[in-house]
Structure 1
């Protein structure tokens, strides 16, 4: 004689709440992909981290070459990509360029996926 074991029934509604209410549009997907593409290099993520941690969330390009171990032209290339993507802004003071974190720029990544 075998005994039957009853297992609890799990309702689909209880475990699988959607993360968003509607999918993003193709245009939104393209814009979001460009943001992630700009962050697709470890050096760029490091640069954003350094600028975000700097006093006033601003750093001179002269302070960004040593922590990355890269030449100034290479660092400037990465900074241009981050500036074009809207993560950083750039101001010139004499011969030096200073980069600041654009307020709310990192929040756009979360907002783009959670619409």
Structure 2
């Protein structure tokens, strides 16, 4: 499990760096919008500041969600339940864990429709 913990910790570090970068980008877009009084919402020349802010905000949310999943996977490592499907209790295949180290569900349970 030490290798698993190291891999998840490395992924967590990358996510934190990405989050810091995106947060800086978001802050820069917000600051740029404060420095101008242009009506960018009606500017036919490219994207609007609001659109850029929305895009970066969505990426920040995505990275935060992924970070939460990695943190949960690290907790499962500590609890001894890493690699066990939360849906059916079977082992999550090694190929799936290789592709998605924070996977909570086996392929069969992940493929089930949610409703």
Q: Same fold (TM over 0.5)?
A: no
TM-score computed with the length of structure 1 as normaliser: 0.32
Larger radius of gyration: 1
Structure having greater relative contact order (Cα 8 Å, sep ≥ 6): 1
User: Higher strand proportion, which one?
Assistant: 1
Q: TM-score, normalised by structure 2?
A: 0.32
